[in-house]
Amino acid sequence: MKGKLMPAIEKETLTLTKPGVDDGAAMWELVNNSSLDLNSPYKYLMMCKFFADTCVTAKVEDRLAGFVTAFIPPEADDTVFVWQVGVDSSFRGQGIASRMLSELMSRDVCRNVRYLEATVTPTNDASDSLFKGFARRHEVDCEIKTCFPSRLFPGNGHESELTYRIGPLNNK
């Protein structure tokens, strides 16, 4: 990967690995304490069990500092879709989310991946910076289009979700 080195947390005992089912509850807890959409505990367990190859946990000692849940859509195997990225508030701003995306892209399962996609709400500045920074470091475009307009969500409380499509990545 081109670009700058990540800061201090790299020197700590940060471990980036695939999740196991024992991580599902902590992932749910982290989301429950954040601004992310909270899904059922079952959904986190399901990602850990069936999509572990495209999910990442970041741990400091045994504590979950962050996670990525992602999958490669069956109809677009050149794309990895990042469903959620969360970093515990006490660990933010130290490059953990960026490192988790790099770990994901380094996996053998992503060897044919040319695009990373995620959806971001228009007011989520941290997420916007995360994905634009990833695109900038890889020197590729970040195309932004509406994915799910707010009218598709039940009630009136959900912003539109914009697709960030980053690539083409040279992932060899």
Distance between CA atoms of residues 61 and 12, nearest Å: 9
Distance between CA atoms of residues 16 and 18, nearest Å: 7
DSSP of 1-23: --SPPP-GGGGS-EEEE---GGG
The residue (of 33 and 112) whose beta carbon lies closer to ligand COA is 33
Interface residues with ligand COA (CB under 6 A)? 34-36, 84-87, 92-98, 118, 124-127, 129-130, 133
Q: How far is CA 84 from CA 3, 16, 29, 44, 94, in A?
A: 24, 16, 14, 10, 18
Min CB(89)–ligand COA separation in Å = 8
Distance between CA atoms of residues 160 and 102, nearest Å: 27
The residue (of 96 and 110) whose beta carbon lies closer to ligand COA is 96
Min CB(136)–ligand COA separation in Å = 7
The residue (of 94 and 171) whose beta carbon lies closer to ligand COA is 94
Min CB(77)–ligand COA separation in Å = 22
Other CB atoms within 10 Å distance of the CB of residue 162: 18
Min CB(78)–ligand COA separation in Å = 21
Residue 116 neighbours by CB under 8 Å, 6+ apart: 79, 80, 82, 101, 105, 131, 134, 165, 166, 167, 169
The residue (of 25 and 34) whose beta carbon lies closer to ligand COA is 34
The residue (of 123 and 170) whose beta carbon lies closer to ligand COA is 123
Q: Which residue is nearest to ligand COA (CB)?
A: 133
Min CB(131)–ligand COA separation in Å = 9
